[in-house]
Amino acid sequence: MFENLKEQPADKILALMEMYRADPREQKVDLGVGVYKNAEGVTPVMRAVKAAEKRIWEEQTSKSYTGLAGEPLFIEAIRKLVLADAVAPEQVAGVTTPGGTGAVRQAFELIKMANPGARVFVSDPTWPNHLSILKYLGIETVPYRYFDSTTGGINFDGMIEDLQAARPGDVVLLHGCCHNPTGANLTLEQWKKVVETLNATEALPMIDIAYQGFGDGLDEDAAATRYVAANVPELLIAASCSKNFGIYRERTGLLMAVSKDAGKTKVNQGTLAYLNRQNYSFPPDHGARIVATILHDEELTAMWKEELEEVRLGMLELRKQLAAELARLTNSDRFAFLAEHRGMFSRLGCSTEEVEKMRDESGIYMVGDSRMNIAGLNTKTVPILAKAIIDAGI
């Protein structure tokens, strides 16, 4: 049987990780995979996470199964973190998933189950793994215009025009904040127009929110998701704790199905639990328990928020430094958009050849579509990157 297997295309982001590791140059700069790194290039375990793990180690008496939905305290905590009081708790079905990717995968499975003919509208560009999972599941995708590489901003008119082509029962995948891979985000006014369009077409929104707290703040980054939740009949939300709690390998995510009609929540909850059972049975618990421990304890919550804010402000500062250095070198504001972008990423908007040139000649590793992980920089490497950008003729 195995002779029928073919080599699968390598994931570009993960392949870049390998390439970076294999590069012997000391001067190399890793702006690839979306993992936060401090100025020393280390991805630290957050202080509140360590404290929560200690507490769990001391207090946990069993590692028997949880429920199929995972730990209820986790679900409640993330529901509140993402949605606050935008909708009533009774309107929300939720299950723990293995990371944000697990939530995305389960959401797509649910879409396929509920409406096998649904097309999923995706921003151009979107996170490559969205496309890969959709293809794997045989779900048709329709790109909508999003990033304008000449301005580094959003082609909003194009976006709305494309979304108007959605049919009832189609799905529109949106990034709640900190758009991956571009870093360009909608304003709240623009979100309102998106919601109007969704309601006019009767398409169902799905929000992927993997970087809450990395953009403008925890509440600010969730504002769009809250607005959508309060103003559409149905919504799917895939949330991740990988980045904002720094617990990448623990695989901690939450899938929520929000319905205006609370009477639908029981079936929605049952469906999500059923999908968990079919795919991996019980979701991983350790990360979810860490998050629940933190968010149900005032002191740990304060500790976590403080560190998350340090992380967020650190990235913002690096953005400003990079934009300023490029302004100095080019004597123009061509790269000012880098300071306007939010989250972990910015798309430079240059060609794959130019990305390769920067890698070969300057040891700068960014994803082929010119996505840079801003957290991969520090004050020493900002000028190195800026010079590499200019040397590559961008």
- Which position's Cβ is nearest ligand LMR? 34
Of the pair 129, 362, the CB lying nearest ligand LMR is at 129
- The CA–CA distances, whole Å, from 334 to 11, 203, 315, 326, 394 equal 31, 37, 20, 8, 10
Burial class from Cβ neighbours inside 10 Å (0-12, 13-18, 19+) for residue 128 reads middle
As a whole number of angstroms, the distance between CA 12 and CA 14 comes to 6
Our finding on whether 180 is near ligand LMR (CB under 6 A) is yes
Can you tell me whether residue 188 is helix, strand or coil?
A: helix
Pick 119 or 251: Cβ nearer ligand LMR: 251
List beta partners, residue 148.
Answer: 153
Question: From residue 123, how far is each of 2, 35, 159, 278 by CA, in Å?
Answer: 36, 22, 8, 29
Q: Is 246 in the site for ligand LMR (CB under 6 A)?
A: no
> Both tokens of residue 129?
């793994």
376 close to 210: Cβ distance less than 8 angstroms: no
What are the residues facing 144 on neighbouring strands? 123
Nearer to ligand LMR, 19 or 195 (CB): 19
Question: Residue 380 has which token pair?
Answer: 């020493």
Cβ proximity to ligand LMR: between 15 and 114 the closer is 15
- Residue 135 backbone phi and psi in degrees, to 5: -65, -45
Which active-site residues does the annotation give? Answer: 127, 208, 210, 243
Number of residues that bind ligand LMR (CB under 6 A): 6
- Which of 182/321 has CB closer to ligand LMR? 182
Three-state secondary-structure class, residue 3: helix
- Using DSSP's 3-state secondary structure scheme, residue 97 falls into strand
Determine contact, residues 206/171, Cβ cutoff 8 Å.
yes
Cα–Cα distance, 205 to 194 (Å, whole number): 10
Q: Which of residues 23-62 bind ligand LMR (CB under 6 A)?
A: 33-34
Sign of CA dihedral 154, 227, 192, 115: positive
Which helix H or strand E contains 235, and what residues bound it?
strand 234-240
Shortest Cβ 241–ligand LMR spacing (Å): 13
Examine residue 363 and tell whether it contacts ligand LMR (CB under 6 A). no
Q: Is 365 in the site for ligand LMR (CB under 6 A)?
A: no
Contact between 13 and ligand LMR by CB under 6 A: the answer reads yes
CB nearer to ligand LMR: give 21 or 54. 21
Closest CB 113 distance from ligand LMR, rounded Å: 25
| Interacting residues with ligand LMR between 181 and 200 (CB under 6 A) | none
Tell me the per-residue interface mask from 94 to 133 with ligand LMR, x by CB under 6 A, - otherwise: ---------------------------------x-x----
The Cα-based distances of 8 to 2, 18, 185 in angstroms read: 13, 16, 32
Decide: 175 and 183 in contact? Cβ < 8 Å. no
Comparison of 28 and 260: residue with beta carbon closer to ligand LMR: 28
Q: DSSP secondary-structure letter at 211?
A: -
Interacting residues toward ligand LMR by CB under 6 A: 13, 33-34, 127, 129, 180
